[in-house]
Structure 1
Amino acid sequence: MIADFRFALRMLAKTPGFAIIAVLTLALGIGANSAIFSVINAVLLRPLPFPKPNQLVAVWSKVANDNLEKQTESVPNYVDLRDQSQTLAALAAFTRSGAVLNGTEEARQLYGVAITSDIFSVLGVAPARGRVYTRADDNVDTRVVVLTDYAWKTYFNSDPNIVGKQVNLSWRSNTVLGVMPPGFQFPVEGQRAEYLQPLHPLVPEAVNNRDWRFVRMVGRMKPGVTIQQCDAEMNTIAARLEKQYPQSNTGRSNRAYSLHDDIVGDVRPALITILAAVAFVLLIACANVANLLLARATARQREIAIRTALGASRARIVWQLLGEGFLLSIFGAVAGLLIAWWGIDLLRVFGPHDVPRLGEVAINAPVFSFTFVAAIFSTLVFALVPALQVTRPNVNESLQEGNRGAVGPGSHRLRRLLVIAQVALSLLLLAGAGLLIKSFANLSSTKPGFDPQHALVAELILPKAKYPDSEKHRQFFDQVMPKLSALPGVDAAGAAFPMPFSNNDWGSTFSIAGQPPRPPGQELEASHLIITPDYFRAMRTPLLRGRVFNSRDTKDSPPVVIVNEVLAQRCFPGGNAIDQRIILTHGENNSHRLRRKLLALLAAHVTNRLRSSRCRNFTFRRRRIRSVGWMSSFAQRPLIPPDCRRPYATLCMSSTKIYSFQISSLWKNASVSLWLNRDLT
């Protein structure tokens, strides 16, 4: 065998041009497949990095007659689900959080998870240093934190004595209880979790409020329990809670899903489609190389015929020709792995941040195995058929064709078949590319009710310790927003909570003044945004009727609200909503009701799904905006002016003392939201 490979290597060395073209062609096909498989392996195939990951479930809330299948839950409902469940060994509730790390050379924005202590039992993980918090720490007065290994190494220089020390998070002192092991990553999409802290101190006002639904839940099933049994029990408990708390829980149920499927569900079809596309690319590459090998082998047909006449078996000659093809595949696989490695680095930097587990993508043993299998497959596809063709038994005919320098009819037929295969595969790829172009054309033509192409966004958190009351909030916005608007190239600047396309949809119930109240569970619901007056100018949102907020709208003036066109058409005959009154409800059992006059009507303004038909209302309450999304509108789109990013960042940092946050294009966030939510029509 070694002698055969040496002979094959000498034959390829005689024709370096052919060898280089064949290797590069195969490298592109194999490299593309290896890169995509590495993503699929990390996202879809590899189990979650926790003990018995098939027992992990995600539990969501569902509202009857609502098109949203997965909604967040309240803390009291979570506690009831946890305490009453017989199928779950543990259930934890969590929400994303952010904090400013003070006390270091530069204050930094950290992203973490506020979560109940059950999470460590759910995930089956233990700290590498110190301890984790327990049920005793699940109270509003606890000030403790558990760091991830990444945060410990990045922000605290791997301090071996970090356990027990005090760290300032958003100007509040917290005791470090422990450090999680290397490689630990909280299993949800979005920003890297850099710390874990108890949920209750973050939202003390929500601990006993069933109408404040903002937490997600993750649990671990008991051994032997199926996902169907867990799902049925969640619905049973939800039915009991509905009878016990009709004001807040009517029409609500709970569903259980496999945690792995819940995490990767939105991206699975897209990744499989891309893998199928690159598989076609590999087949086209194989057809191209097969054509090259056939032409090369045909030129050697006389040589092969002479060797056959001298007694060489057909199997022996086919094996030698396959050896040449195998060497080409191996060289192509090595070059393909280099291409895949380079492509993965680009994907980590420029890929959509909403793809789960993207940071785990790597060239590892499964990817090497896949690449080797792809090389073997490529050899069989492009080398076997030409080898069989040129070693057919008719030696005399081969010698005569070789003397004339002609090519036999069999070779002509095979070449025609290879060309037909290439054309067919290319047409399939072109059809897929056409559908993709159509999808992006739909994206470009989508009218979300604002102009994201000219908007720059940055998310900041106003720490409660530094901005404890509404007066501090008012001072912050009164000082910062005019300065942002005055930056070079900026037309307008506004702030909002939640930030558009942040996957955070804050809903509220409302009723129409003068109409009889609806039964519990059938209330009208709308997404609720709290904004500053220039938000609509910064977003370039068309105003259909009425006026936007201005300086006359204060805490002492009559309360007003702005709604989108969808709400107006659904709730008022003819969409005539101006000067009508709606009653926004909030608080436990909807105990707080505030009548607001409709001030203006907007176009169908959306904030998460570009093709959403959800009702939306906007209020102006600066004291309630804590997690801020800046929207700054620029006169030109091609790229945000580099000379504007620097003062933009400097102003934000000097105002909040936060020295690390992302400034990005709103259009990129909108595009990723559209693609992952598959709202393509």
Structure 2
Amino acid sequence: MAKPGQVVILSDGLWKRRFGSDPQIIGRAITLCCAPRQYTVIGVMAPGFKGLSDAAELWVPFAMWAPPGTMAERGTRGFAALARLKPGVTLAAAQSDMDAISRRLEQAYPNTNDKRGAEVSPLDVELFGNIRPALLTLMAAVAFVLLIACANVANLLLARSEARRREIAVRTALGAGRGRLLRQLVTESCVLTLLGAAVGLVLARVAVSTLIAQSPVTFPSFATPDLDVRVALFTFAVSLACGLLVGLVPGLQAHAPDLGESLKESARSSGGRQSQRVRSALVVAEVSLAVVLLVGAGLMIRSVRNLAALNPGFDPQSVLTVHVSIPRASVSPAAPAATGGQAAPAPPPVVEGRVLLDRLRAIPGVAAATLANGLPLDGDGGASFYAAEGQPAVNAQNMPRIYVHRVTPDFFGTLRIPFVSGRTFTDAEISPTSTAAIVSEGVVKRFWPGQDPIGKRVKFGSLTSSNPWMSIVGVVSDVKYRGLPQNPTADPDIYLPFADRNSLLAIALRTTVPPASLIATVRAAVRAADPSIPVYNIATMDELVSRQTSQSRFTMWLMGVFAACALILAVVGIYGVMSYLVSQRTREIGIRLALGAKGQDILRLVVGNGARLIGAGIVIGVAASFALQRLVSTLLFGVTAADAASGLAVVILAVVAMVACYLPALRATRVSPLNALRYE
């Protein structure tokens, strides 16, 4: 790809904020960081356009920033390709075309393209695929809470229809059709659910904006969640379906086939046995669903605690991380003839990284400082294929990869990364041509388990490549560069001496004071070195660690809210059903008391009925929790459904539910036999 001109396109926000909406901006030259020359503005994007990231505020041609020869190198695979399908072209058709192209490339270039292909996937999957499990889990939690609420409403409507049983029986005896009675009951329930949906949408407007503000996920402008007409229609549709569901339960129960028996049951005010069975089934369902949510919330809490206690391989406390872009000196590009036909070397940086590092070390409160091309949890440094001396050769498909980091000698001491064996780099080894290397334990475990790796050699590429051999001078513990938790089989790391060839630098400062208190001082020190050096992504290492668990903590918080709602709804439902059953059995309780039964007997009778329902719900809920564990396994870390957190959740539900049973039972023991016998 030919080298383009030094051109740039601005975002609407940057144009307005930085250039005051200058109408003459087109054709104007501006300076960007790390650039030896100025860039000509050739366009301003329309308002609202953010591309794939809200952080992007300007765009330059790809080839301008790509290293020389990148596009011609067949082994370059570190870039993503985007395409818009033509109208009528399906994803499957596009995948078929890419498969055909991959086969042709495999035949033409077997050394680099053997068994390699391209996968076509929707953009939303690539952007949000990592949060899909959490979204599905939260949707399931919402559905469970909705079902518990439906069970509660159905129980209330069933109790109401029981109270109107005599009325319904009389209307049926006078000729009212079953369909008419059913429509009336269903209409009443639908009106209630639709009114609830309307109130819920109003509350959701506030809740959604709050959740987005608290969410650790950054949504592009084109994918920001919002309450629109589609959401409202879906909400009302679900509410209508719930209304039909909960209305049918009492509606079908209300129309008894035997009117005489129905009138007798109404007269006895004890409720039909079939209705009691339905109410009991609804209570069992509520308890089982609440158990699943409580167990899920408990597992999420334990997972987050396990992640927080995970050893990242270094000490993140009292560390400030800083990123800078050191501009290169303005040097006119040499003619090809003057460089032997090769591209001119990149101009040197205006300030050496080590000079800047010395300035930062001099800041009061800074105990140690280091430079690198990337820091843990903040970049992987880029991966390369590598080979170890004395190991058998492997084909290109099975070549191991290693992540490359360039660091100064004090990198390991500053971050307190422990050495397993060997030493750090010496000052004499700080050179672009140095062959000294430090590797992580993963390299030793792969090639030299149980052996002393000091003095062993590795090289980039295959065993037959022309790359120089590098001698291992030290071994450090594995560091979780690429997230918490990191796959145990993740590629290992190799550390090489830092050289002032990079313009994008990562700096870590270990401090004796709270690291955040030095942010302004660090910025001032960088400006004093060179005002043109931009400072960005400045944060404490503790913040970087916290970001790694932010999605899990957010999911945990939401699961906790849903579990609390489920617990409250289930307890209210149990209390309501038990209170209703006690009121329906008031006459029976009075007779028992009149015949000599004691309060403890009545208490045991009522609580026993409730305990059986709660026990059945807990058993079903625990079984369902084990079955559903596989669906949320990607969100869990170091826990299973048999974890102690699950047992605690079950105990909490059982205790609270039994209290909900005990209160109506206690009231039943205080019933006056005389009043109970008169109760109708």
How high is the TM-score relative to the length of structure 1?
A: 0.67
Q: Which residue of 1 aligns with 2:627?
A: none
Matching of residue 146 in structure 1 with residue 9 in structure 2:
yes
Q: Which residue of 1 aligns with 2:156?
A: 292
Does the CA-based 8 Å contact 1:453-1:667 persist in structure 2? no
Letter in 2 for 1:230: D
Q: Which residue of 2 aligns with 1:497?
A: 373
Matching of residue 508 in structure 1 with residue 384 in structure 2:
yes
Q: Which residue of 2 aligns with 1:670?
A: 548
Does the CA-based 8 Å contact 1:348-1:358 persist in structure 2? no
Letter in 1 for 2:473: L
Does the CA-based 8 Å contact 1:544-1:601 persist in structure 2? yes
Q: Per-residue displacement from partner, 1:631-671 (whole Å, max 9, x unpaired)?
A: 455789xxx77645554565566666537646361113433
Q: Which residue of 2 aligns with 1:389?
A: 253
Does the CA-based 8 Å contact 1:227-1:256 persist in structure 2? no
SS of the equivalent of 1:422 reads helix
SS of the equivalent of 2:8 reads strand
Aligned counterparts of 1:396 and 1:515: Cα–Cα separation in 2 = 91
Letter in 2 for 1:668: S
Q: Per-residue displacement from partner, 1:134-188 (whole Å, max 9, x unpaired)?
A: xxxx64351111223444444444444433333322264222222333443434x
Does the CA-based 8 Å contact 1:148-1:184 persist in structure 2? yes
Pairs within 5 Å for 1:453-602: 457-464=321-328, 468-469=347-348, 472-483=351-362, 486-487=364-365, 492-502=368-378, 504=380, 506-513=382-389, 523-549=399-425, 551=427, 553-555=429-431, 559-584=435-460, 593-602=467-476
Aligned counterparts of 1:548 and 1:186: Cα–Cα separation in 2 = 43
Q: Which has the larger radius of gyration?
A: 2
Does the CA-based 8 Å contact 1:493-1:537 persist in structure 2? no
Bigger fraction of residues in helix: 2
Alignment size in residue pairs: 529
Q: Which residue of 1 aligns with 2:242?
A: 378
Q: Which moves more between the two structures, 371-380 or 352-361?
A: 352-361
Aligned counterparts of 1:659 and 1:510: Cα–Cα separation in 2 = 34
Letter in 2 for 1:179: V
Does the CA-based 8 Å contact 1:611-1:679 persist in structure 2? no
Q: Which residue of 2 aligns with 1:125?
A: none
Pairs within 5 Å for 1:103-252: 139-170=2-33, 172-187=37-52, 192-207=55-70, 208-210=72-74, 213-220=77-84, 226-240=93-107, 242-243=109-110, 246=111, 249=112, 251=114
Matching of residue 628 in structure 1 with residue 505 in structure 2:
yes
Cα distance, 1:678 vs. partner? 6.7
Letter in 1 for 2:436: V
Aligned counterparts of 1:227 and 1:255: Cα–Cα separation in 2 = 10
Q: Per-residue displacement from partner, 1:323-342 (whole Å, max 9, x unpaired)?
A: 33223322322332244333
Cα distance, 1:525 vs. partner? 2.8
Does the CA-based 8 Å contact 2:54-2:220 persist in structure 1? no
Letter in 2 for 1:599: V
SS of the equivalent of 2:351 reads helix
Change (3 A) 1:355 1:456: farther
Pairs within 5 Å for 1:329-340: 329-340=193-204
Does the CA-based 8 Å contact 2:357-2:370 persist in structure 1? no
Aligned counterparts of 2:249 and 2:23: Cα–Cα separation in 1 = 63
Q: Which residue of 1 aligns with 2:143?
A: 279
Q: Per-residue displacement from partner, 1:332-373 (whole Å, max 9, x unpaired)?
A: 223322443334323433323367778521112221122111
Letter in 2 for 1:239: E
Aligned counterparts of 1:425 and 1:186: Cα–Cα separation in 2 = 42
Does the CA-based 8 Å contact 2:368-2:414 persist in structure 1? yes
Letter in 1 for 2:99: A
Aligned counterparts of 1:396 and 1:653: Cα–Cα separation in 2 = 93
Q: Which residue of 1 aligns with 2:482?
A: 608
Does the CA-based 8 Å contact 1:150-1:182 persist in structure 2? yes
SS of the equivalent of 1:600 reads strand
Matching of residue 364 in structure 1 with residue 228 in structure 2:
yes
Cα distance, 1:394 vs. partner? 5.2
Letter in 1 for 2:493: R
How high is the TM-score relative to the length of structure 2?
A: 0.67
Does the CA-based 8 Å contact 2:299-2:636 persist in structure 1? no
SS of the equivalent of 2:288 reads helix
Change (3 A) 1:524 1:311: closer
Aligned counterparts of 2:131 and 2:354: Cα–Cα separation in 1 = 43
Q: Could you tell me the percent identity over the aligned residues?
A: 30
Cα distance, 1:617 vs. partner? 0.2
Cα distance, 1:432 vs. partner? 3.4
Matching of residue 449 in structure 1 with residue 298 in structure 2:
no
Aligned counterparts of 1:213 and 1:342: Cα–Cα separation in 2 = 44
Does the CA-based 8 Å contact 1:263-1:356 persist in structure 2? no
Change (3 A) 1:161 1:257: same
Does the CA-based 8 Å contact 1:527-1:615 persist in structure 2? yes
Does the CA-based 8 Å contact 1:579-1:599 persist in structure 2? yes
Q: Per-residue displacement from partner, 1:494-528 (whole Å, max 9, x unpaired)?
A: 44323434565501233445678766666543111
Cα distance, 1:374 vs. partner? 1.7
Cα distance, 1:255 vs. partner? 1.3
Cα distance, 1:313 vs. partner? 4.5
Bigger fraction of residues in strand: 1
Aligned counterpart in structure 1 of residue 496 of structure 2, from 619, 635, 656: 619
Q: Per-residue displacement from partner, 1:43-91 (whole Å, max 9, x unpaired)?
A: xxxxxxxxxxxxxxxxxxxxxxxxxxxxxxxxxxxxxxxxxxxxxxxxx
Aligned counterparts of 2:15 and 2:256: Cα–Cα separation in 1 = 68
Q: Per-residue displacement from partner, 1:114-142 (whole Å, max 9, x unpaired)?
A: xxxxxxxxxxxxxxxxxxxxxxxx64351
Does the CA-based 8 Å contact 2:432-2:497 persist in structure 1? no
Aligned counterparts of 1:514 and 1:329: Cα–Cα separation in 2 = 73
Aligned counterparts of 1:290 and 1:497: Cα–Cα separation in 2 = 62
Pairs within 5 Å for 1:53-92: none
Change (3 A) 1:357 1:230: farther
Q: Per-residue displacement from partner, 1:299-321 (whole Å, max 9, x unpaired)?
A: 44445455556665444444343
Matching of residue 319 in structure 1 with residue 183 in structure 2:
yes
Q: Which moves more between the two structures, 276-285 or 430-439?
A: 430-439
Change (3 A) 1:364 1:464: farther
Does the CA-based 8 Å contact 2:324-2:533 persist in structure 1? no
Cα distance, 1:279 vs. partner? 0.9
